[in-house]
Amino acid sequence: GAGVSQSPSNKVTEKGKDVELRCDPISGHTALYWYRQSLGQGLEFLIYFQGNSAPDKSGLPSDRFSAERTGGSVSTLTIQRTQQEDSAVYLCASSPRSGRAGEQFFGPGTRLTVL
Amino acid sequence: AQTVTQSQPEMSVQEAETVTLSCTYDTSESDYYLFWYKQPPSRQMILVIRQEAYKQQNATENRFSVNFQKAAKSFSLKISDSQLGDAAMYFCAYRGHPQGGSEKLVFGKGTKLTVNP
């Protein structure tokens, strides 16, 4: 079956612009996660969605970052007024359900470059 | 907060040989899960092996096995009969118990493994 997909694969933007990154999880997966992978910080958790519960936003680095998940499926991560330090690979993952040590299935990521 | 440390930024191994990647972690929880993920240049993170902390037996998946030392908070990955396709970044990750902790994965900084022919 299809895995987690992310778009775009690469995004180059100018400082101060807004960007939207999209994640399509595996069909039927109720949990969805966003991580950021940067050279200096490694892999960092950003946000977690589980069903209709309130998302865990504890990893979002600033109020310029937001995410939503529509219809319990597709998710969009929005970064407003991008800064050069936002340059990183943004990874999305999904898993069948929470409450278990289920594998998180990762997408190929979106490489964001802020000039 | 939980932390994961991978002390080897880079490792190399000859094809067909065995290599061990180190990982230590810090937590106050008694029940949790540990993972090793592989990330090739394609950026796709792939689960290699997982270990549940309440299980004393070390997990094994074909050529991959772990040495889980709960008291020492150590979780090393052994790759036997290394193959060229094993070359990648390897990340150790921690996840707390779902009822008491967060669903998020906490990652180490990674170890870049090179396999020499």
Q: In the predicted model, is pLDDT for residue B101 greater than 70? A: no
Lowest mean pLDDT among A49-53, B67-71, B104-108: A49-53
Nearest chain A Cα distance for residue B20, angstroms: 21
Which residues of chain A are within 8 Å of residue B43 when distances are taken between CB atoms?
A: 89, 91, 108-109, 111
What is the rounded CA–CA span in Å between residue A49 and residue A106? 15
In three-state form (DSSP H/G/I as H, E/B as E, the rest C), the secondary structure along chain A is: CCCCEEECCEEEECCCCCEEEEEECCCCCCEEEEEEEECCCEEEEEEEEECCCCCECCCCCCCCEEEEECCCCCEEEEECCCCHHHCEEEEEEEECCCCCCCCCEECCCEEEEEC
Q: Tell me how crowded residue B37 is: count the other CB atoms within 10 A of its CB.
A: 25
- pLDDT average per 10 residues of sequence, chain A (115 residues): 91 97 93 90 89 89 94 93 96 78 86 96
Average pLDDT over residues B46-69: 94
- Interface contact B105-A35, CB threshold 8 A: yes
- Interface contact A33-B109, CB threshold 8 A: no
- Amino acid at site A53: S
What is the rounded CA–CA span in Å between residue A46 and residue A3? 21
For A90: left if phi > 0, alpha if psi spans -120 to 50, otherwise beta; the answer is beta
What is the rounded CA–CA span in Å between residue B87 and residue B39? 9
Among A98, A106, A108, the residue with its CB nearest the CB of B103 is A98
- Interface contact A104-B108, CB threshold 8 A: no
Which residues of chain A are within 8 Å of residue B98 when distances are taken between CB atoms?
A: 98-101
